[in-house]
Amino acid sequence: MKVKIKDVAKEAHVSVATVSRVVNDIPLVNEDTKQRVLDAIKKTGYKPNAIARSLKIQKTNTIGIMIPDISDPMYSDIVRGAEVTSEIYKYNIILIDTDSSSEREKEMLDVLLEKQCDGVIYIGKDFNNNTKELLERANCEVVLGCVQDKDGDISAVLIDNVEAAYNLTKDLIQKGYKNIAIITDEKGGQVVEDRLEGILKAAKEADIEIDKSLIQAGRLSLNGGAKSTKAILDSGKDVDLIICMNDQLAMGALKMAKENGRNVPDDLAITGFNDYWISEWISPTLSSVRQPLYDIGSIAARMLIKKIENMEDKEADNVMILPYDIRFRESVKEN
Amino acid sequence: MKVKIKDVAKEAHVSVATVSRVVNDIPLVNEDTKQRVLDAIKKTGYKPNAIARSLKIQKTNTIGIMIPDISDPMYSDIVRGAEVTSEIYKYNIILIDTDSSSEREKEMLDVLLEKQCDGVIYIGKDFNNNTKELLERANCEVVLGCVQDKDGDISAVLIDNVEAAYNLTKDLIQKGYKNIAIITDEKGGQVVEDRLEGILKAAKEADIEIDKSLIQAGRLSLNGGAKSTKAILDSGKDVDLIICMNDQLAMGALKMAKENGRNVPDDLAITGFNDYWISEWISPTLSSVRQPLYDIGSIAARMLIKKIENMEDKEADNVMILPYDIRFRESVKEN
DNA sequence: CTGAAAGCGCTTACAG
DNA sequence: CTGAAAGCGCTTACAG
C-alpha cells in the first residue's frame, strides 16, 4: 500500500495541510512541527503523488517533444539538449516520434494535451499551414525547433538555412567549383527548400546555371544519397561538386563516388549538412554545415519553460536564430 | 477556458457519468443518448483530462525509460523501439538521461515514481547491488535492458555478452589472429566485464596469452579509442588485432591506426561491438557484433506493459536473451 | 502557526 | 439505461 499525505499527517499528529506545507517548503511552519513532519516522512517513506498535485495546481511540469525520429542522430542531439535543460527547471519530457506524418502529429499532440503537458516543443523538417493550425488550436505553449513560422506567430529556434546554404555555396564557388549537383529530400519541406533557395541564389549571383537534372531528390538516407549520386554520375554530365542536404546523403554519396572510381575531393567534392560527430572521423573527412543541435534543443526548452512560467514578456524574442558554422574538411579541395 | 466533462454533460443534457461512459466506450449507453453526447463533445471540443483520470483509476499509461545518454546512437535505437511499441499499447514515454550516474538514477527514479509511472525500463552499462536495491524498493514494474540481474529477480532483455565476445574471439583466432589487444571502458560495468570474460575465455582455450598491458581502458568515445590505440601501438609489441568494446572505440582505433601508417586490415585488424548503422559505410567497413537494439527496446516495452496489465504470468519468461550477429567486414582479413 | 473544508476533473459502485 | 454521490491525493484560501 502506498503511503499518502494522510498517513504522514497521522504519524506526525498534524493536519494534511501542514504536511503539504512542509513538503512544498512553504515557510510559515514552526520549526518543531516541521521536524516532526520530516521525521514522519522519512519513517513512512512518503513520496508525494505528482498526479494529484498536478490536478490541483493545474500544472504537470511535463513538456512534450515531438520529433520525426529519435534514432536519427540529428534529433537525438536536440532531445538531449532539451532533456538536460528541462531537468534543470524540474520539468520532464514525454518523447513522441512523429515520423514527420501529419496524422501522427495530430493524434499524438492530442495525447500530449490530454496528459496536460504544460507545453510542447515541435521539431520538424517542414512547417506548413496545417501544422500551424494544429499547433495554434492546441492552446498550450509551443516552441518550434529547426523550422519556423515565417509569419512569426510562433516562437522558434533554428539557424538561417537560406543564409547558411548561400554562404556554403558562395565559398565553394570561390574555391573554383562550378559544375554543381544537389541531392535533396524527395519529401521537400521548409528546411530543404530554404537550403535550396540559398544554393540557387549563390549560384545565380555567380552566373552559374545549375542543370535541373542534376538536382536529385530521393530518400533522406545513406542509400538515398548513394542512389542519387549514381544517377548524377551516370548522367555523364560534368560535375565537380555535390551539395547534399544532410550528412547521411553525403556519406552515401561519398561511398558511391568511391565505388565509381571517383576520387574525393580531387575529381569530385562533396558536402553535407548538420555535421554529425562522425563526419570528421570518416575518410575523407566530410565538409558540412554545423547546426548547434544540442543548443537548439536546450534553448527551445528554456524558451518554452519561460513562457510557461511567464517569466518574460511573451512577445519578446520569439524567434531565435542561432549561428551555424561551415566546416570545410577533406571532402573539399583547399582551393 | 478548457472545457470539462461537466460542460459536455450540460450541453448534452445528461449527467457527467453518462458522458464518462461514452468517452470510455462503456457499452451500456442508449444509442440516442450516446449520439447526443458525441455531438456535444464535438461541439464543445472536449478533450478528457488524463491527469484527473489517472488520479482516479490509479494508472497513468506512462512508462519511464532511463538510459545513459539519448545522444548515443546505441541508446537512441533502443528508445525508438520502446517508443513505437509503447504507443501501440497506448503508453507514453518519459525519457530520462542518467549519464550512468547512480545519484542521478536515484533522483530521477524518484521523479518517475512521483509522477506515478506504471513502470520503468532501465537501460544501463552496469547492474550492481545498489541499482538492484534501488529498483526493488521502487515497487513498480521494472524491466532491464542490455544488462541483467544475474540472480534473475528482475526481468531483463539483452544479448549474451559473454557468449558473443567468446564467439567473436574464437572466430578471429580461427582466422589466424593471435596477438590480441583490447580496448575497453575505464568505468567497467557488467556489459564490458562480460565481454572481457568471453574474450579471455576464447583466448585461453586457444592457448593464447593476452598481455595485460595490451588491455587498454579509456573513455568510451572515438577519442578514447584513438588514445588507447596510440598506447597500444607505441608499446612496440606485436599486435595484429584490436578488439574494441564498442564501435565508437573501434572507429577511433581505425583512424589512429591509419594515422600511424598501419593498414587495416593487412597490418592490423579491428573489431567493434553494437554495429552502428554507420559501420558499413566507413572505409574500411567495420567488423562488429550486432545487437538487436531496436528489438531490445521494443521487447522490453512489451514485457513491461504485459507485466503492468497482468496479461501474463509475472514469473514467466523473466529474462529474454536475444540473438546477436557477428559481422565480419573489411576491417578483418578474410583468412 | 495550524486545521477544516472545498475543489481540481475524472470514474464507478450503487440505487433506481 | 441513467444519475447522484463518493472519492482518487493533493493544495490553498479562509478562519482562528
Give the number of other CB atoms < 10 A from CB of residue B237. Answer: 12
Residue of chain A minimizing CA distance to B1? A139
Q: What pLDDT score does B217 carry? A: 95
Which residue among A87, A116, A282 sits closest to B282, beta carbon to beta carbon? A282
Q: Write out the three cell numbers for A83.
A: 532533456
Q: Are A97 and B93 in contact (CB under 8 A)?
A: no
Strand partners, A288: A327
Which residue among B55, B76, B96 sits closest to A70, beta carbon to beta carbon? B76
Identify each DSSP E strand in B88-188 by its residue range: 92-97, 119-123, 141-145, 155-159, 180-185
Give the number of other CB atoms < 10 A from CB of residue B189. Answer: 19
Q: Is the CB of B16 under 7 A from strand D?
A: yes
Q: What is the separation of C-alpha B224 from the centre of its chain, rounded to a whole number of angstroms? A: 22
Q: Are B118 and B91 in contact (CB under 8 A)?
A: yes
> Which homologous superfamily does the CATH classification assign to the domain defined by B62-159+293-325?
Response regulator (3.40.50.2300)
Closest-CA residue to B124 (of B107, B152, B149): B149
Q: Hey, what CATH topology would domain A161-289 get?
A: Rossmann fold (3.40.50)
Alpha carbons within 13 angstroms on the beta-carbon side of residue A212 total 0
DSSP B86-125: HHHTT-EEEEEE-TT-HHHHHHHHHHHHHTT-SEEEEE-S
Spans in chain A with pLDDT lower than 50: none
- Local structure of A66: helix, strand or coil: strand
Instruction: Please identify which residue in the block is written with the cell numbers 559505410.
Output: B281
A94 vs B contacts (CB less than 8 Å): 62, 92-95
Residue of chain B minimizing CA distance to A247? B278
Å from A299 (CA) to D10 (C1')?
32
A251 vs B contacts (CB less than 8 Å): 278, 281
Q: What pLDDT score does B315 carry? A: 52
Q: What is the separation of C-alpha A76 from the centre of its chain, rounded to a whole number of angstroms? A: 8
Q: What pLDDT score does B32 carry? A: 87
Does A5-57 match A161-289 in CATH topology?
no
Say yes or no: A97 contacts chain B, CB-CB below 8 A. yes
Say yes or no: B256 contacts chain A, CB-CB below 8 A. no
What pLDDT, in 10s, does the model give residues A265-308? 999 999 999 998 888 888 889 999 999 999 999 999 999 999 99
Q: Going residue by residue through chain B (335 aa), what tens digit of pLDDT does each one get?
A: 689 999 999 888 999 999 999 999 888 888 888 888 999 999 999 999 999 999 999 999 999 999 999 999 899 999 999 999 999 999 999 999 999 999 999 999 999 999 999 999 999 999 999 999 999 988 789 999 999 999 989 999 999 999 999 999 999 999 999 999 999 999 999 999 999 999 999 999 999 999 999 999 999 999 999 999 999 999 999 999 999 999 999 999 999 999 999 998 999 999 999 998 888 888 889 999 999 999 999 999 999 999 998 865 555 568 999 999 999 999 999 76
Say yes or no: A277 contacts chain B, CB-CB below 8 A. yes
Amino acid at site B211: D
Q: Could you tell me the residue ranges of all domains in chain A?
A: 5-57, 62-159+293-325, 161-289
Report CB contact under 8 Å: A70, B49.
Answer: no
Å from B15 (CA) to D3 (C1')?
6
Q: Is the CB of A116 under 7 A from strand D?
A: no
Å from B76 (CA) to C13 (C1')?
45
DSSP assignment, residue B153? -
Q: What pLDDT score does B231 carry? A: 95
Report CB contact under 8 Å: A96, B116.
Answer: no
Amino acid at site B224: G
Phi then psi dihedrals of residue A54, to 5 deg: -60, -40
Which H helix or E strand runs over A157? strand A155-159
Shortest distance between the Cα of A176 and any Cα of chain B, in A, equals 28
CATH code of A5-57, in short, is 1.10.260.40
B93 vs A contacts (CB less than 8 Å): 94-95
Shortest distance between the Cα of A209 and any Cα of chain B, in A, equals 32
Q: Write out the three cell numbers for B206.
A: 586457444
Q: Are B46 and B4 in contact (CB under 8 A)?
A: yes
Closest-CA residue to B119 (of B145, B101, B99, B100): B145
- Local structure of A251: helix, strand or coil: helix
Give the number of other CB atoms < 10 A from CB of residue A89. Answer: 16
Q: What pLDDT score does B283 carry? A: 83
Contacts of A74 (CB under 8 A, 6+ apart): A246, A274, A276, A291, A293
